[in-house]
Amino acid sequence: MKYIDEYRKKDLILGIADEIRKISKKEISLMEVCGGHTMAIHRFGLHSFLPPTVSLLSGPGCPVCVSGQQFIDTAIAYCRQVGVILTTYGDLIRVPGSKSSLEKERAAGLDIRIVYSVLESLEIARKNPASKVIFLGIGFETTAPLTAAAIAEAAKLKLANFHVLSAHKVMPPVMKALVKDGVKINGFIAPGHVTAITGIGIYKDLPKAFGLGVVVSGFEPVDMMQSILMLVRQLEAGKPRVEIQYQRVVQQEGNVKALKLLDTVFELKDDYWRGLGMIPLSGLKIRSRFSEFDIEKILPVDVPLSTEPKGCICGMILRGLKKPTDCKLFAKRCTPSDPVGACMVSGEGSCATYFKYRE
Amino acid sequence: MCLAIPAKVLSVDGPAARVLIGDTEYNASLLLIDDVKAGDYIMLHAGFAIQKVDEEEAIETMRLLNEVAGYDPES
């Protein structure tokens, strides 16, 4: 098995679709939380295989989209300082801040480098001892342990010129906030790679407290169709619960080693989510033990509060209240080559996905 | 952003591995998982192996799915 081709077989997808059609009676709405799921649904046109009783809604699972302009503005404020090398995942390079973007700043001559892995940032710090190397830490539980590992390595190597600007966030509080906020859904297609780290314990109150089904899903079309089938079965039987479809990667207890490292380096803080506002204990900040690596601690910058661009409804889209096609700017003023809102910038943002695969 | 891709482990050298995706080789940090050996599949995310792929579970899931779909993978 190569774990890709087997999960893209058309006959298998059609077979599962038949089964869903056969048993689906109730009208249900399922939210895929993860941007990777949104992409898979549109890329493979999975909507077209589902009966009218099952509708899918995109959630806030794109870290670039929910981090908003303030983070980019802050990153830019840092890289304009003398002797700073900013390192970032490619995902952030084109995201518009309130006045500029990292791409524009780089074109203007600032030292901004795209890295594939945070470990490359450590290497850059080692080779440039006179510079402050600041890594933009972004992402959910899947990605945050990588930053934690890099900080732990930097501590071990006594690499005092490596720093992190953390916008890392965690998933469970926002999933609950959405439901409490009145988003009408019957179940979550839960993020496979987040759960590969966290384990399924994070979802345990959702069925009882909110009557929601939860299926942790893989990212191939067969995975997603199977997850939808599992949710339909749960909801038709009136027995919502937490199940794992993505058994080949997700273990009940998650990745214990990664979780331990995450907890060693980071602690929870209240955090701002674009479109959703402040959510208690939904973000990750670097523990004081490691504060020499926390750029916000050693070199605070003052960045004015940013405002959302006029006419942009990213916030409503991230909450599943509107679809990208409801936005007046969509595909007119706002396109992937000249994006207004964050949901159009990130390749896995709902707007960019809708744009790429629009009919 | 949470994209992770199955990769085959070619060799392990301390806290790092060489892995294969399609025809391309990559480095994978093993700082987040233990007990990886050549021949295993891992999920590669931004240069790190974040979890192993469980072959038995994968085969079992496929068997169940083929049953649901009435699909004969041999045909």
Rounded average pLDDT over A200-217: 96
Q: Domain for residue B63, yes or no?
A: yes
Question: What percentage of chain A reaches a pLDDT higher than 90?
Answer: 75
**Is A349's pLDDT higher than 90?**
no
Strand order across the beta sheet in which A213-217 lies? A54-61, A28-34, A187-191, A213-217, A242-244
* Chain A contact for B67 (CB, 8 A cutoff): no
Rounded to a whole number of angstroms, the distance from the CA of B8 to the nearest CA of chain A is 8
Task: Identify all chain A residues contacting B47, using CB atoms and an 8 Å cutoff.
Answer: 116-120, 146
Residue of A nearest to B48 (CA): A146
Rounded average pLDDT over A177-190: 91
**Per-residue confidence (pLDDT) for residue B32, from 0 to 100:** 98
**For residue range A276-290, what is the model confidence (pLDDT) as tens digits?**
889 999 999 999 999
Question: Which sign, positive or negative, has the C-alpha torsion A146, A147, A150, A156?
Answer: negative
Distance CA B39, CA B30 (A): 15
Residue with tokens 């058994």: A247
**For residue range A304-337, what is the model confidence (pLDDT) as tens digits?**
887 778 898 988 888 888 889 999 999 999 999 8
Q: Domain for residue B64, yes or no?
A: yes
What radius of gyration, in Å, describes the C-alpha atoms of chain A?
Answer: 21
What domain range includes position B50?
Answer: 5-69
Which among A143, A194, A229 has the least Cβ separation from residue B46?
A143
* Chain A contact for B21 (CB, 8 A cutoff): no
Which among B2, B34, B59 has the least Cβ separation from residue A193?
B2
**For residue range A143-166, what is the model confidence (pLDDT) as tens digits?**
999 999 999 999 999 999 999 999
Q: Domain for residue B75, yes or no?
A: no
Distance CA A304, CA A288 (A): 25
Task: Identify all chain A residues contacting B51, using CB atoms and an 8 Å cutoff.
Answer: 196-197, 249-251, 255
Q: Domain for residue B74, yes or no?
A: no
Q: Domain for residue B28, yes or no?
A: yes
If pLDDT is split at 50, 70 and 90, which confidence band does A75 have?
very high
ipTM for the whole complex: 0.92
The total domain count for chain B is 1
Distance CA A132, CA A161 (A): 5
Q: What is the mean pLDDT of chain A?
A: 93
Which among A146, A191, A248 has the least Cβ separation from residue B57?
A248
List of domains in chain A: 5-62+173-244 (3.40.50.11750), 64-170+254-298 (3.40.50.11740), 314-356 (no CATH)
Which among A6, A149, A194 has the least Cβ separation from residue B32?
A149
**B47–A12 C-beta distance less than 8 A:** no
**For residue range B10-45, what is the model confidence (pLDDT) as tens digits?**
999 999 999 999 889 999 999 999 999 999 999 999
CATH label of the domain that carries residue B37: 2.30.30.140
**Is A300's pLDDT higher than 80?**
yes
Return phi, psi of residue A301, to 5°: -120, 150
pTM, entire model: 0.93
Q: Domain for residue B15, yes or no?
A: yes
**Per-residue confidence (pLDDT) for residue A3, from 0 to 100:** 80
